[in-house]
Amino acid sequence: MSLGEGAFALRIAVLGAGPVGLEAALYGAALGHEILCIERGEIAAAVRSWGHVGMFSPWPLNVSPLGAARLHKAGRDVPGSGPEAAEAPTGAQYAARYLVPLSQDPLLAGRIRQHSRVVAVGKRGLRKGELIGKAARGDHQFRLLVEDATGEHLEYADVVLDCTGTYGTPSAIGAGGIPAPGERWLGDRLIRHVPDVLGKDRARFARRRVLLVGAGLSAATAAVALAELGAAQPATQVVWAVRRRLALPYQPIADDPLPMRARLHQAANQVAERAAAGGPLSYRPATSVDSITAEGHRLRVRLQDDRGTGTEEPFDEVVGLTGYGPERDLYRELQVHECYASLGPMSLAATLLGQSGDCLAQPKPGPETLKNPEPRFFILGAKSYGRNSAFLVQLGLAQIRGAYALLHKDPALDLYAAPAA
Ligand SMILES: Cc1cc2nc3c(=O)[nH]c(=O)nc-3n(C[C@H](O)[C@H](O)[C@H](O)COP(=O)(O)OP(=O)(O)OC[C@H]3O[C@@H](n4cnc5c(N)ncnc54)[C@H](O)[C@@H]3O)c2cc1C
């Protein structure tokens, strides 16, 4: 399907080549737009960095109809068909079997620039405080400052799709969501992404004293792996600090449409339950990090409960999995209305705030929720949810369809309904 009569090709900058960026780039290219996809690492860099983690959505929920049709047309393996349909890949399999092949689609040839970081996005001939909320801002191209190994460059675009995710911006470990005293100085000494406890990072944890902080799905993944390591290597000690005073850290989602997520919740709750009986892992509800100091090769951490009782304890490793958030400097010069709670774009955030339970079971927020005061600037993917960790790839696909329907002023436009390969 190319552009209809009278339509013109837009120059679209897609920031980030993760699942949502790649799918958005492919969708735009299939529509005949001039796509420039800019990725600071390799294709699917964030997904690869959690490559050892098993996804909780089965293949069909991670693949778009257009992506599958294009791979099929190219005579390539389409993951998730046949018996694989019920299986969920690891991040590494998702990247290798789907995202990388997708990035090699002829429609995207020469369109993806890797190892290039978008530093900032502004408007040509306009500042943030001009033409406030006016559609006329859309007449000015976006001006992008991009940095790579050769230096800084400028790019211009009619449309910007910010699909830069949140995995690169972990939240603070300290109580109250602010860095604990000492945390900022320790930088990379603290682990802020899901470690490969049973694989390449095993030596960092085996027979050592580890503090795990957090109660999201990333922390659940780490807790289950650390408990398994502790069972195999009893000299390993793990303290799992969770902020809320909960007997069990996870409240399962009723009739969870994602059985693997339900299993992860259950396994992590069992880890917490078993901790009461002793063993290598101790579960500490209502506990937060008050301060962290380096002490030789070890870290001394002051933990405090919600009644103000504190302990000072030595650890070899501190794993802080307290969530991720949007990198906002990138669009600081644009007119973006952010939610005061989630830091996501306001319109979508307001819709999500109104929802409860599992987002897959909820009606998908309509395209209008993707609009920002800045015309033709869309935040899609995990970043669009801000600090709300409920984002799923499936929701990103609906956002892509919505954004292009808005750009084409054609609510019926839907390349996923009848993907023409
Ligand atoms: C451990 C883990 C497991 C998950 N499991 C599932 C699951 O099973 N099912 C599901 O649906 N969702 C899952 N998610 C949630 C979500 O779908 C994924 O995070 C998904 O990767 C989000 O896709 P994205 O394209 O929005 O962002 P990302 O995958 O984070 O991609 C963003 C890309 O932008 C690049 N980038 C960032 N900043 C810049 C910049 N300034 N300039 C250029 N490039 C930049 C990054 O390098 C990255 O490659 C999981 C998330 C995590 C962390």
pLDDT digits (tens, 9 = 90+) for 17-70: 999 999 999 999 999 999 999 999 999 999 999 999 999 999 999 999 999 999
Q: Please work out whether the CB of residue 379 comes within 6 Å of at least one atom of ligand 1.
A: no
Mean pLDDT highest for which of 7-16, 76-85, 317-326? 317-326
Q: Please work out whether the CB of residue 18 comes within 6 Å of at least one atom of ligand 1.
A: yes
Ligand 1 centre to CA of 119 (Å) is: 18
Q: Please work out whether the CB of residue 365 comes within 6 Å of at least one atom of ligand 1.
A: no
Q: Please work out whether the CB of residue 95 comes within 6 Å of at least one atom of ligand 1.
A: no
* Per-residue pLDDT, 357: 56
Task: Check: CB of residue 196 under 8 Å from CB of residue 54.
Answer: no
Tokens, residue 366: 């309509």
Give the H/E segment covering residue 376: none
pLDDT digits (tens, 9 = 90+) for 399-421: 999 999 999 999 999 999 965 54
Q: How confident is the model at residue 362 (pLDDT cuts 50, 70, 90)?
A: low
Higher pLDDT, 278 or 242: 242
Ligand 1 centre to CA of 292 (Å) is: 29
The candidate with the shortest Cα–Cα distance to 249, out of 322, 355, 190, 314, is 322
* Per-residue pLDDT, 70: 97
Q: Please work out whether the CB of residue 47 comes within 6 Å of at least one atom of ligand 1.
A: yes
Ligand 1 centre to CA of 72 (Å) is: 24
* Per-residue pLDDT, 5: 47
Architecture (CATH level 2) of domain 175-320:
3-Layer(bba) Sandwich (3.50)
Give the chain's mean pLDDT. Answer: 94
297: left (phi over 0), alpha (psi -120 to 50) or beta: alpha
Enumerate residues 6+ apart whose C-beta is below 8 A from 364: 395, 398
Ligand 1 centre to CA of 125 (Å) is: 32
pLDDT digits (tens, 9 = 90+) for 250-266: 998 888 989 999 999 99
Q: Please work out whether the CB of residue 53 comes within 6 Å of at least one atom of ligand 1.
A: yes
- Given the DSSP bridges, would you call strands 298-305 and 287-295 parallel, antiparallel or unpaired? antiparallel
What is the secondary structure of 251-271 as a DSSP string? -PPTT-S-HHHHHHHHHHHHH
Domains 11-167+325-408 and 175-320 alike in fold: yes
Partners of 34 in the β-ladder: 11
Ligand 1 centre to CA of 166 (Å) is: 7
Q: Is the pLDDT of residue 350 over 70?
A: yes
Ligand 1 centre to CA of 209 (Å) is: 30
* Per-residue pLDDT, 323: 97
pLDDT digits (tens, 9 = 90+) for 108-127: 999 999 999 999 999 999 99
Q: Supply the residue whose CA is at minimum distance from atom 39 of ligand 1.
A: 164
Q: Please work out whether the CB of residue 163 comes within 6 Å of at least one atom of ligand 1.
A: yes
- Between helix 393-407 and helix 19-30 the angle, nearest 10°, is 30
The candidate with the shortest Cα–Cα distance to 170, out of 201, 146, 195, 200, is 195
Give percent above pLDDT 90 in the chain. 89
The candidate with the shortest Cα–Cα distance to 404, out of 71, 67, 33, is 33
Ligand 1 centre to CA of 391 (Å) is: 10
The candidate with the shortest Cα–Cα distance to 223, out of 193, 181, 264, 268, is 268
Separation CA 47–CA 20 (nearest Å) = 11
What's the one-letter identity of residue 375? Answer: P
Range with the poorest average pLDDT among 205-214, 232-241, 357-366 = 357-366
Task: Check: CB of residue 103 under 8 Å from CB of residue 43.
Answer: yes
Q: Please work out whether the CB of residue 320 comes within 6 Å of at least one atom of ligand 1.
A: no
Task: Check: CB of residue 369 under 8 Å from CB of residue 347.
Answer: yes
Show me where the domains of the chain are located: 11-167+325-408, 175-320
Mean pLDDT, residues 102-110: 98
Q: Is the pLDDT of residue 358 over 80?
A: no
Q: With respect to CATH, is domain 11-167+325-408 assigned 3.50.50.60? A: yes
